């Protein structure tokens, strides 16, 4: 059994929805949990400390250990304070589940600068402001786990969500670099693309009653996402630099592959016309590789053209 005895985990956005379920399951498995939630609305308005307090009460009533944190992740001071709460109360920090976020739907041409910046400030900037101080603590310990909650809306696209999709895709890039730099220090980093019933789902469908009657909401129960997140946050997990989808009880790796492509000869510079001529090779997805870094891509091409 995977357990978290003696480990400390920060879960942001842990007052409701998926974040609450992550926090409860981690506590059930022995973790001391920092339940972070500003307590605002799904659209990022207002604040209510009772939201985090209720989850802490739920955990402690069941015999677990938890402390509330009410800071917003959207500032360096907020991220530092969340990490400081973990270290001050429990003496260490073993895992961070970066789950805090807001959500709204806006057509691309109608999106304002403020709409764009606010979404990135919470999802992407917030993940950075939290993970930077957490990384420093983990590096000193020689151990740590990051789980960034990304989205298929960013990896594959979702209409009316340019700001949300860009922020969530940005988390994949952030996780990739933390995984590379953290590897020598025992720090792993992965992302999860969850699909579970939440306020976000009902906000993006025209007829919530119809999908409920079709059994869709039961199929995407949020509890079905939790196992993937908890595993990636655990000591048992040796995986890093990966992305996983969790949807309706199906768990699968999500990856960006690089096709072999078409290689121009060295006798002349390729042109746009050459691209058109060889477009089938350029666009082919087989065979493919999954480079572990930018260097692997470049070195593979250099090898093919005879540069060592």
Residues taking part in catalysis: 164
> Could you report the per-residue pLDDT of 210-231, keeping only the tens digit for each?
666 667 788 889 999 999 999 9
> Could you report the per-residue pLDDT of 273-282, keeping only the tens digit for each?
999 999 999 9
147: nearest Cα among 238, 214, 229, 70: 229
73: nearest Cα among 104, 92, 47, 55: 47
pLDDT at 15: 98
12: nearest Cα among 85, 63, 64: 85
Neighbour-count burial for 273-306, b at 16+ CB within 10 Å, e otherwise: eeeeebeeeeeeeeeeeeeeeeeeeeeeeeeeee
pLDDT at 265: 85
pLDDT at 214: 62
Low-confidence ranges of the chain (pLDDT < 70): 198-214
Query: Cα separation of 147 and 44, whole Å?
Result: 22
pTM of the model: 0.94
pLDDT at 196: 87
- For 190, other C-beta atoms within 10 Å of its C-beta total 26
Query: Cα separation of 269 and 38, whole Å?
Result: 56
Where does CATH 3.40.50.720 sit in the chain? 8-254
Would you identify the CATH topology of the domain 8-254?
A: Rossmann fold (3.40.50)
Q: Is 104 helix (H, G, I), strand (E, B) or coil?
A: coil
Residue 165, phi then psi, degrees to nearest 5: -60, -40
């Amino acid at each position: 059994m995977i357990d978290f005895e003696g480990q400390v985990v920060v879960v942001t956005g842990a007052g409701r929805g998926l974040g609450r379920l992550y926090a409860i399951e981690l506590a059930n498995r022995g973790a001391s949990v920092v339940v972070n939630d500003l307590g605002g609305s799904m659209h990022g308005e207002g604040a209510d400390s009772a939201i985090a307090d209720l989850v802490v009460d739920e955990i402690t009533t069941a015999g677990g250990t938890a402390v509330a944190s009410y800071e917003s992740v959207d500032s360096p001071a907020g991220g530092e304070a969340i990490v400081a709460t973990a270290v001050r109360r429990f003496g260490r920090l073993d895992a961070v589940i970066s789950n805090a976020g807001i959500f709204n739907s806006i057509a691309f041409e109608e999106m304002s600068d403020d709409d764009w910046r606010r979404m990135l400030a919470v999802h992407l900037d917030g993940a950075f402001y939290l993970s930077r101080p957490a990384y420093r603590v983990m590096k000193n310990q020689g151990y740590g786990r990051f789980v960034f909650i990304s989205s298929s809306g960013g990896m594959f696209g979702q209409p009316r969500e340019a700001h949300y999709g860009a922020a969530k895709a940005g988390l994949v890039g952030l996780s990739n670099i933390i995984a590379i730099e953290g590897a020598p220090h025992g720090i792993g980093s992965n992302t999860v693309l969850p699909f579970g019933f939440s306020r976000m789902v009902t906000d993006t469908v025209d007829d919530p009653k119809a999908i409920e009657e079709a059994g869709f909401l039961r199929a995407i129960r949020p509890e079905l996402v939790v196992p993937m997140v908890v595993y990636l946050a655990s000591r048992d997990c040796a995986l890093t630099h990966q992305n996983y989808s969790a949807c309706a009880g199906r768990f699968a790796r999500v990856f960006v592959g690089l096709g072999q492509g078409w290689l121009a000869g060295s006798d002349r510079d390729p042109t746009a016309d050459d691209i058109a001529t060889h477009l089938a090779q350029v666009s082919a997805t087989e065979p493919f590789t999954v480079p572990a870094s930018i260097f692997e891509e470049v070195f593979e091409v250099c090898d093919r053209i005879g540069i060592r």
